[in-house]
Structure formats: C-alpha cells, structure tokens
C-alpha cells in the first residue's frame, strides 16, 4: 500500500478520530460534475453539504417550475438548466479542491504529503495545508 501511495496522484486522508480513510484525486471530479445534478447526492455522500443543498434547491425549484414548462414558459426552465450546468462544471473542476479543504478543516491528516505529484497539485490549486484553519485541532 505504501508503494501505491508513492506513485499515485491521489491524495490520501485519514481521520485520526475514527481511522476512516478517503482519497481525493488531483484532476477533474467527474462524479461531481456529472451526477451532482441528481439532487446533490454525491455532494452529500462526500460531506460537501452546502453544495449539496444548493443543488437540491435548484432541483426543487426546477420541479416547482415544471408545470410552467408544459404551458410554454421555456425561459425560466432554460435559465435554471444553465445555472445547473455552470455549477456542475464548477464542481467538476474545483470539487477535489473543495473536498481537500473540507478534510483539512475537519482535522483529517494527509498520509502522503511528501509525494511530488501531491505537492504539485497543491501548487496548482494555490493551496497551503498549513494555513487552512482546522476545527477541533489544537
């Protein structure tokens, strides 16, 4: 497992309280980009609740406006779809960065901080793990 951590471009996190481990990729997050429009379910699973609620609210508004769509009012529906597409693209591109910040803020420990690809990813994201405030960690 250690050899795998040394050659991969994934960032490995461990929760020191529970022992749970998670991985975060360094590139696009296809799952967030494609499936977040399904009421934000992947966002809730990965604990990005605020973004999950945003996508859930958009889906709720979409369902409320659906009768107007059937009556011929296409403008509001297309505007909502446009907003959903923009947010989905943002989450696909920035989702792994947001997830990494979440893990650091909640006291998770990065297991492979000395990996060159991981350091390059942090430079690309303009992220410094030492600067991110952590909850419950002294």
pLDDT tens per residue across span 86-105: 999 999 999 999 999 999 88
Alpha-carbon distance of 97 to 122, in angstroms, equals: 9
pLDDT of residue 131: 67
Confidence band of 21 (pLDDT split at 50, 70, 90): very high
Burial class (CB in 10 A: 0-12, 13-18, 19+), 136: exposed
Confidence band of 118 (pLDDT split at 50, 70, 90): confident
pLDDT of residue 89: 94
Mean pLDDT of the chain: 84
Residue, of 27 and 99, whose pLDDT is higher? 99
Closest of 86, 98, 104, 110 to residue 43, by C-alpha: 98
Q: Which residues pair with 22 in a beta bridge?
A: 13
Assess whether pLDDT exceeds 80 at residue 130.
no
Residue range 15-20: average pLDDT?
Answer: 91
pTM for the whole thing? 0.79
DSSP 27: S
């Amino acid at each position: 497992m250690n050899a795998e951590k040394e050659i991969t471009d994934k960032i490995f996190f461990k929760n020191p309280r529970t022992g749970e481990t998670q991985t975060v990729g360094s590139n696009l997050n296809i799952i967030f980009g494609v499936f977040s429009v399904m009421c934000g379910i992947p966002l809730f699973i990965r604990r990005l609740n605020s973004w999950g609620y945003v996508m859930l609210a958009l889906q709720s508004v979409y369902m409320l406006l659906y009768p107007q769509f059937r009556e011929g009012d296409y403008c509001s529906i297309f505007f909502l779809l446009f907003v959903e597409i923009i947010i989905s693209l943002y989450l696909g591109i920035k989702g792994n960065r947001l997830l990494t910040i979440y893990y650091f803020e909640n006291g998770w420990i990065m297991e492979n901080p000395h990996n060159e690809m991981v350091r390059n990813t942090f430079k690309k994201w303009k992220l410094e793990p030492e600067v991110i405030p952590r909850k419950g960690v002294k």
